[in-house]
Structure 1
Amino acid sequence: MELDDVHSILIIGPTSSDKNVDLSTALYDTVDILHQLGYKLSIIVENPTSLLSSGTFYDKTVVEKVTGDNVLKYVQKYHPDSILPTVGDRNALGIVSSLNGKIGETKILGPSFAASLATFKRELFIKKLTHANLPVIKFVSSDDEKEIYSFIRSIGFPIIARRRYSNRHSSGWTNINNLFELDNFMAMEDISDTKIEIERSIRGFSEYSFTILRDRYDNSSLVGTIEDIEPIGIHHLDSNLISPAVSLNDSKLQRLRNFSIKLARTFNIVGVCTVHFAYNHATNESYITEFIPRLSEETKFLEYATSYPVATAVAQLCLGYHLDKLQLDAGNYFNGATEPFVDHITSRFPQWSTNGQRYLGPSKTSNSSIVVNGFSLEEVLNKGALNDKLNNNFNRYNELRKLDDDELFEKIIHPTNWMLDVLSEAMRRNFEKPVLSEITGINMPYLTALQNIIDNSLIIREGEIDGSNVEHMVNMGVKGVGHSKLLLDSPDIVTKTVVKNKQAVSVANNDFINHNYFVTGGISNELQLSDRMKIIVRTPIITSKTDIMIRQFVLFQLAKSIDQNGLEPIIIGREPWNAPLSMRRKVVEIDDPHMEMKNLGLIKNDSVLNIIDLSKNLIETDDKRVFQFSAQELKNLKLTGGTSVRVMVVSDGENFLAPSVIYQAKRDGHLYEISSVNQFMTVEDRANISRLIKQELEDDSKVDIYNFELVKSNDHWLMTKKYRGMTNDIIRHELASSVHVIDTLVKLLLGNKIGDDLTLEKVFDNFDDKYLLTIDSKRYQLLDEEETKIELSKLRKNEN
């Protein structure tokens, strides 16, 4: 069944970009199942903190810039049987395309050479799809002006154009509507080794993506579909995403599904492939715009939406397993060919850091997102994009009311991130929905949902709430949203706001239970809890990409530690976090967009031992069980120096441990950091640092985590910064330290004690054998003990 000549696998890891948060979490499931199945794993990665908790599975971890040359050097030195690029980013596909014919007998698992190359070479992409009779947009790439103008005459305006440079960098797509705009674009300063790329413009078409799994025996299944509410012309990550694609009827869905499977067959993709489509509902034209033959942000979103274990399945498919005979773990089988049937809608709504309007186009402008679940479009729109608590929609409503019809129409034809609010205001003024759909490219189901929300808002504003319509409104998610704050006084609402099980995927295994729930409207609660004592972990509503990586790491460590200590972990919040597969049967996740779980009384108060709050909005409370985990700045002297240390401290209220010390030095215009250097500290440094920490903790009387920064000045340590709770250093501290701080914290919250009269060696105890060197927060190296001594010796020469 599986490839019997593959025993060792080199994984091309993600680069150190914030875009790779989703890949970092998918990486854990990938290497977990490969490790259980007995494969020998190595990884090349730029930033080892992006590995999260998966580092224990690797035989070798190579910290180098992820390039084709470095991958080739590894292959020539260690001769792995295979290379797996599916958990790398787009860069990994570029590396695969550059290795053709250079790696001997080493196999490439997953995307073929042609598939990898076609993600960069538009000409190859067009040629392969045209040969397979798949719908694709006509395209030219040339430095010949005559050829370019001749091609444009054959397809007509509008078009999109960009400059493609020899190093794969491009200028970004420009919309061109007439000859005058084309002449201006062509007259721009030219650069050598540059080609002009031209395509027919499909701006205004609807955008869909289909994710397909395929095995080497040509069996395929559709994992899920995603639809952009906004049409093509707006960046995919600035659009509101809906899964499943609700505006496709069955015949259209089957048509695009068949195209997706045919594309995967054309490129002989084994594993996963996400295919993007442009669809014109007026003419029934459809085009394949791009494909992604690897794990991506979309596959992670679908895994969250459907509960299908995508990353685990892809790893096995790449190794030759049959789609219908996959394993959740070693020996626990499931039928991966069963296509998920979702009983709810999952939506991702982009967020911007400022409240003002931003014009949307082909370039990404959003910096975070929220994910919500519901049983209707109205519910997910009310929970997400139209949630007044998150987006100040009431202020938007007041601003838009001041515009006359012409000014409002200008907002309609030039889309901004207020588009749904703009359309709502237009429909309040009786603009016709078919006209709005034609102008904006937004499909009718969403305009109808907005109309229903407007009608309900009118009922609420006029106080016409009674038993005949309150349940209908709750089912649309209107509780506590915008004007509907009036509903908060109705006792009937609380009884009709419940927790529903997110039933989504059918696998042929009765032992696979995904404890994933969301707060919605209904009449019965489906929350199932064990009789174990519980620790609740509350997460933020909105986080940036970087924050998500940190919190996903912390959530996993907390859930694992809580379970190992005999308690039931319950994660409450709206962060789009999917627990690794090994934890999904042990952790209860509840999507709670409006903080309603606190008031529903569905978790018995006397069964909750502690509440760990990761939210940044620190709330004053008299509940002694609440532990605020996010950082609070308690001290900042604004004093800098050439040498400093950052110390993580965990305290039981009487004694403390300092299991991780990060050494920082500025030398020759560069910033060096080495973690964790506990065993390289002198006795004098340990004593002085310990004394300063004791002084800062004199009034400490409860379990807590602290982060201190100390600066060395004239051979003396000075305490400059003090934080209570988790800082962004948490991953570095946790991965650098052999003493796991988060697990220690959980044990202390359960009543364990550190112990009295500890020696300095015990306070700073750490027995690591690998140390992370970071230069300018960009370059990373893993050092052994001897290499660390040498680097520290160099840095300390100028310490005074």
Structure 2
Amino acid sequence: MPRRKDIRRILILGSGPIVIGQACEFDYSGTQACKALRQEGYEVVLVNSNPASIMTDPEIANRTYIEPLSFDVIKQVIEVEKPDALLPTMGGQTALNISVELAEKGVLDQFEIELIGADLTSIRKAEDRLLFKESMKNIGIAVCPSGIASTIDESINVGKEIGSFPRIIRPAFTLGGSGGGIAYNQEEYVSICKQGLEASPMNQILIEKSLLGWKEFELEVMRDISDNVVIVCSIENLDPMGIHTGDSITVAPAQTLTDREYQRLRDYSIKIIREIGVATGGSNIQFAVNPLNGEVVVIEMNPRVSRSSALASKATGFPIAKIAALLAIGYTLDEITNDITGKTPACFEPTIDYIVTKIPRFAFEKFGGSSNILNTSMKSVGEAMAIGRSFEESFQKAIRSLEIGLHGWSSNDNDQLIPIKEIDKVLRTPSPERIFAIRMAMSHGKTDQEINSVSNIDCWFLSKLRNIFNAEKNILSGKQISQISENELFELKQLGFSDKQISLLIDVGEFEVRSLRKKYNVVPTFKTVDTCSAEFSSSTPYHYSTYERPLKQLINKDIIEIKETCREVDVSSNKKVLILGGGPNRIGQGIEFDYCCCHCSYQFQKEGFSTIMINSNPETVSTDYDTSDILYFEPLTLEDVLNIIEYESPEGIIIQFGGQTPLKLAMPILNWLNTAEGRKTKTRVLGTSPISIDRAEDREQFDLILNQLGIRQPKNGIARSAIEALEIAKLISYPLVVRPSYVLGGRAMEIVYDDAELRRYMKEAVKIEPEHPVLIDQYLENAIEVDVDALCDSNKEVIIGGLMEHIEPAGIHSGDSACCLPSVSLSQKSISIIKKWTKSISLSLDVLGLINLQFAVQKDLNGNEQVFIIEANPRASRTVPFVSKATGIPLARIASSLMSGRSLSELGINKEPQPPLQAIKEAVMPFKRFPGTDSVLGPEMRSTGEVMGSASSFGMAYAKSELAAGEALPVSGVVFLSTHDRDKQSLVIVAKNLINLGFKLIATSGTSSYLKRSGINVETVLKVHEGRPNIEDLIRSGKIQLIINTPIGRQAAFDDKYLRRAALDYSVPTLTTVAGAKAAVEAITALQKQRITINALQDIHRI
């Protein structure tokens, strides 16, 4: 059918900030959809609150609103833009839920807007647990024995009907299993049901009989308006049922199904998508299969593009989101051409001749007090994907792609860490460590059947892991490098062993293994992802590496002919640049760096280069096959990067956009490029030299630069032992900021207040980064932190891109603090000093491209300001996308042009850009996913994402940023106050302002007494240990609308932890700094005066 001509303007909703369960896969999907629809001639209106997304670039949609994803805001956008249709399937659960709300409240009917891609009936039937269960009954497909509940009493009755434990609780219309879990006893059951009912927007939970131990599968399905259906990909979870699929190791295509079982799942999927009624788009359908008898039950269905859709797209090369968008406007599958082959239509189901493995990455070390046991509520913060010709190769490549210090699945002197009597317990308990415990179990002599009996991991996977285990034991154990034969080395490489992994196992250097490979000509061959197993030629250069033995053919009894392996990748003679991506998302390194890598690729293409991208993250836009000219889906390790440099011989390599991942490789790459082998490639590092980056990272070298420039920094020292640390503490005095060197995201950074805390820290810190010392700095109390992003060209010209004032005080990690652009409280004198120092440091470090610097401005009692430099990072920072959206100046693109040889003046950049509106960047926290963790902010970063609010005033901009972050500020009600003695004086002004705004105040005894002495009307409430009713009772009964709680020190933070936990459980906004409370007062004042304002990016910057 031809595309629809009765609609002209389409509204697309994004997914908002990166959160656990909903990450940058929806930026990838939304970007694809916007581009596809615009190419078809439609006007696209986009709403998303995440400034770090590619989809919010002003050229992606016709009208771009970086605004909160709330009902009221979207209704305003609809009133202004008057779209004809709404595509709800590209923005995850967030977009789906808002779309349903808009439909149910009559907004879509009022403005005559049609839901396309999935209609309201289909969404309800898929998302409403009861309707889905009834739909499956209609078509004769089994679901797990279960019941629906909307109250605790109903939950208890359903539990009685289901019977034995464990039971699984799944809330309706939620994200990433949020609010759900597995209950093993009645107390856990009631608790999880309660949190599930609160998490569900419709107060509904599904309670299921546990299928723990069953195998889990997913199928990606697409259907068009003519009822054509294709199965894009099957995905198998290595972990059995009971773990959220986002937290499970997954493999594509499915490996352990018989043909009959696969055909049954395929048939069921087609029946399900037809019954639910998704007629113009894609869906993800999840099944459980009993390994004993093949019994199948359907678990759930997502009537939208999902996390698994992104994985399936990258695994097969089939662009699910793009095709779903085209189906939504009326095309049929047979009318859409497959981009990769350029010949086949989209109704040809993809076939692949390789295996893809995805492994999640976790960050439990950031969330002390939380269990690392995995269940149906997702907890991973990112994932890595790898492609290989065997499961073993794919799996080991995925392990090293995680960037968690592992070079493969092999012994690391840890085999005996778990006593044999505890092995079964570890294997039985799902956790990120279980996959490594399997290796320990094998080393203890356990058979595959014994491991399967306690872990329920299929014996097929265990047999493949056994192959890796046996190869290490039989080929490498006790051997010297000279004893490894060519055949043995080929076998190891085909099983996915890395050079570094082999070198550690035989105690030699990594480059010695590399030299042996070269001697034997054991080198990778590069294959292409083509959707058709090489049946047709591919026009899209999307590649991966593997190892294939040359074919030896006997010509006669004396002559053997050696035929090289089949090369699927032709090397272009164009001038090329190689861009190193950021690898899997993690806290401290996320979508912001992928944004920079994409902009780098776009700009170098504009400058006449072919771009090569290396990355291992299936969620990102950078791993879309049309972001760069050539894509290598490979681990970001030294071996893998050098293999590609050697193969492609690019003119330059770019390391400053992908965060810490490429920076850690910078010096080793530079050193290799200076060898005889490296010089043959004629490749050079573009932008700031790794030597300059090292000078900024190394404390002693950086101190020398600052002393030469006469730039002030906090008193500091370097310690390699507890004794050294205590001596430095005497010279500087407490409190102190302590952290390991060479880390990102404030990993293991703390503020310590006395000798005891410092001793404890030093005991733990050496475990984190033993090869680098601990940095100790004076903690500047009551200081304002300032972030600066600047550009520097080869002519030594420096332009400030953005100077951001943090709202939370110095000591809160910059990634967790809200910040504003432009500054709202700094004196002009301090701003001038910061700009002067920025230029001096940039020039001293020979920066070419981007640099980020962090300063602190401390005020004395007389209001005089003193500026300190905290650190300089000669690379792209996580604030680059925010600054770019706030000012309209694409910093990463400009930096890329500077690296290509252009100058700032040549680009017309000759003065600091001024943002037209007040812009606020706010961090988004994942604390609800980690019940044992305290939500108080500190120097270690724990946010997963960010949002942006823009308005003509600071108050409105801050109010919008809080709403976008899911922390909507109240405009009336009761505020609870509890602060440390140091903050009580500052709190008086906040309390008076809240009363003037009409709020009622309550406080614990100490804070209450202080405020009363200051003439403030406040009620006193009991602490938890003082009796009932207490503050926790008031929170849990819904009588508190806002909490201001500012602990200082570890003990104070611990004492109030229960209070902040209750606030999280009941979604009460909580402010843990006085500065944050002051900003909230301004925001509430703005909200009381006017309706939230909205602005299109194109209007703000007059594009």
Distance 1:14 1:571, change over 3 A: same
Which consecutive residues of structure 2, in runs of 5 or more, have no partner in the other structure? 551-564, 675-683, 707-712, 715-778, 811-815, 925-945, 959-1077, 1083-1103
Paired residues of 1:345 and 1:375 also in contact (CA < 8 A): yes
Distance of 1:415 and 1:569 partners within structure 2: 41
Deviates most, 112-121 or 723-732: 112-121
Q: Per-residue deviation at 1:30?
A: 1.1
Equivalent runs, 1:714-733 vs 2, <5 Å:
718=867, 720-721=869-870, 722-733=872-883
Describe the SS at the equivalent of 1:530. Answer: coil
Question: Aligned to 1:529, which of 568, 571, 585?
Answer: 571
Q: Per-residue deviation at 1:534?
A: 2.1
Aligned-partner residue type, residue 708 of structure 1: L
Distance of 2:422 and 2:820 partners within structure 1: 57
Q: Per-residue deviation at 1:151?
A: 5.7
Paired residues of 2:687 and 2:847 also in contact (CA < 8 A): no
Paired residues of 1:659 and 1:763 also in contact (CA < 8 A): no
Distance 1:188 1:343, change over 3 A: closer
Equivalent runs, 1:20-99 vs 2, <5 Å:
20-52=23-55, 54-99=57-102
What does the per-residue CA deviation read over 1:90-116, in whole Å, with 9 as the maximum and x for residues that have no partner? Answer: 122222333336122311011221332
Distance of 2:610 and 2:643 partners within structure 1: 19
> Is 1:454 the counterpart of 2:469 in the alignment?
yes
Distance of 1:579 and 1:170 partners within structure 2: 28
Q: 2:1004 aligns to what?
A: none
Structure number with higher strand proportion: 1
Question: Aligned to 1:617, which of 664, 674, 698?
Answer: 664
TM-score relative to the length of structure 2 = 0.63
Deviates most, 733-742 or 125-134: 733-742
Q: Per-residue deviation at 1:478?
A: 2.2
Question: Aligned to 2:395, which of 376, 381, 393?
Answer: 381
> Is 1:748 the counterpart of 2:898 in the alignment?
yes
Paired residues of 2:363 and 2:586 also in contact (CA < 8 A): no
Q: 2:491 aligns to what?
A: 472
Distance of 1:472 and 1:298 partners within structure 2: 32
Distance of 1:478 and 1:507 partners within structure 2: 25
Distance 1:738 1:352, change over 3 A: closer
> Is 1:708 the counterpart of 2:853 in the alignment?
yes
Equivalent runs, 1:592-607 vs 2, <5 Å:
592=635, 594-597=637-640, 599-600=642-643, 603=646, 607=650
Paired residues of 1:708 and 1:719 also in contact (CA < 8 A): no
Question: Aligned to 2:180, which of 168, 172, 177?
Answer: 172
Equivalent runs, 1:690-701 vs 2, <5 Å:
690-701=835-846
> Is 1:211 the counterpart of 2:220 in the alignment?
yes
Question: Aligned to 1:658, which of 785, 799, 803?
Answer: 799
Distance of 1:361 and 1:791 partners within structure 2: 38
TM-score relative to the length of structure 1 = 0.85
> Is 1:427 the counterpart of 2:442 in the alignment?
yes
Deviates most, 687-696 or 513-522: 687-696
Aligned-partner residue type, residue 797 of structure 2: F
Q: 1:591 aligns to what?
A: 634
Distance of 2:865 and 2:356 partners within structure 1: 56
Paired residues of 2:156 and 2:190 also in contact (CA < 8 A): no
Paired residues of 1:349 and 1:369 also in contact (CA < 8 A): yes
Distance of 1:588 and 1:668 partners within structure 2: 42
Q: 2:103 aligns to what?
A: 100
Distance of 1:118 and 1:223 partners within structure 2: 22
> Is 1:279 the counterpart of 2:296 in the alignment?
no
Q: Per-residue deviation at 1:413?
A: 2.5
> Is 1:442 the counterpart of 2:457 in the alignment?
yes
Paired residues of 2:219 and 2:235 also in contact (CA < 8 A): yes
> Is 1:310 the counterpart of 2:353 in the alignment?
no
Paired residues of 1:519 and 1:593 also in contact (CA < 8 A): no
Percent identity between matched residues is: 18
Q: Per-residue deviation at 1:397?
A: 5.9
Question: Aligned to 2:298, which of 268, 288, 291?
Answer: 288
Q: 1:113 aligns to what?
A: 120
Paired residues of 1:479 and 1:493 also in contact (CA < 8 A): no
Distance of 2:953 and 2:807 partners within structure 1: 19
Distance 1:701 1:29, change over 3 A: same
What does the per-residue CA deviation read over 1:687-728, in whole Å, with 9 as the maximum and x for residues that have no partner? Answer: 665544343345344524222345666687846343321221
Question: Aligned to 2:345, which of 324, 335, 343?
Answer: 335
Q: 2:423 aligns to what?
A: 408
Deviates most, 741-750 or 108-117: 741-750
Q: Per-residue deviation at 1:280?
A: 0.8
Deviates most, 505-514 or 572-581: 505-514
Deviates most, 413-422 or 193-202: 193-202
Q: Per-residue deviation at 1:683?
A: 9.9
Q: Per-residue deviation at 1:154?
A: 5.8
What does the per-residue CA deviation read over 1:645-704, in whole Å, with 9 as the maximum and x for residues that have no partner? Answer: 5432221244324252244375999987444689x9999898665544343345344524
Q: 2:308 aligns to what?
A: 298
Distance of 1:676 and 1:188 partners within structure 2: 44
Deviates most, 601-610 or 236-245: 601-610
Describe the SS at the equivalent of 1:61. Answer: strand
Aligned-partner residue type, residue 142 of structure 2: P
What does the per-residue CA deviation read over 1:270-305, in whole Å, with 9 as the maximum and x for residues that have no partner? Answer: 211000111112111111111111112111111111
Aligned-partner residue type, residue 302 of structure 1: A
Paired residues of 2:791 and 2:851 also in contact (CA < 8 A): yes
What does the per-residue CA deviation read over 1:124-152, in whole Å, with 9 as the maximum and x for residues that have no partner? Answer: 11111111222212221247899767766
Distance of 2:257 and 2:593 partners within structure 1: 36
Q: 2:592 aligns to what?
A: 550
Aligned-partner residue type, residue 9 of structure 1: I
Pairwise CA RMSD: 4.3
- Count of matched residue pairs: 783
Describe the SS at the equivalent of 1:532. Answer: coil
> Is 1:364 the counterpart of 2:378 in the alignment?
yes
Describe the SS at the equivalent of 1:557. Answer: helix
Q: Per-residue deviation at 1:227?
A: 1.0
Distance 1:508 1:116, change over 3 A: farther
Distance of 1:594 and 1:668 partners within structure 2: 37
Describe the SS at the equivalent of 2:359. Answer: strand
Q: 1:568 aligns to what?
A: 610
Paired residues of 1:501 and 1:527 also in contact (CA < 8 A): yes
> Is 1:243 the counterpart of 2:257 in the alignment?
no
Deviates most, 390-399 or 655-664: 390-399
Paired residues of 1:639 and 1:720 also in contact (CA < 8 A): no
What does the per-residue CA deviation read over 1:66-125, in whole Å, with 9 as the maximum and x for residues that have no partner? Answer: 233433444345431111111112122222333336122311011221332245421111
What does the per-residue CA deviation read over 1:202-221, in whole Å, with 9 as the maximum and x for residues that have no partner? Answer: 11110111001111111111
Q: 2:524 aligns to what?
A: 498
Distance of 1:188 and 1:59 partners within structure 2: 44
Distance of 1:187 and 1:674 partners within structure 2: 40
Q: 1:648 aligns to what?
A: 789
Q: Per-residue deviation at 1:317?
A: 0.7
Distance of 1:186 and 1:644 partners within structure 2: 44
Q: Per-residue deviation at 1:606?
A: 6.6
Describe the SS at the equivalent of 1:547. Answer: coil
Describe the SS at the equivalent of 2:311. Answer: helix
Distance of 2:453 and 2:818 partners within structure 1: 57
Paired residues of 1:94 and 1:117 also in contact (CA < 8 A): no
Aligned-partner residue type, residue 360 of structure 2: P
What does the per-residue CA deviation read over 1:282-337, in whole Å, with 9 as the maximum and x for residues that have no partner? Answer: 111111111111112111111111111112111111111111112578xx886111
Describe the SS at the equivalent of 2:103. Answer: coil
Paired residues of 1:20 and 1:89 also in contact (CA < 8 A): no
> Is 1:200 the counterpart of 2:200 in the alignment?
no
Distance 1:165 1:339, change over 3 A: closer
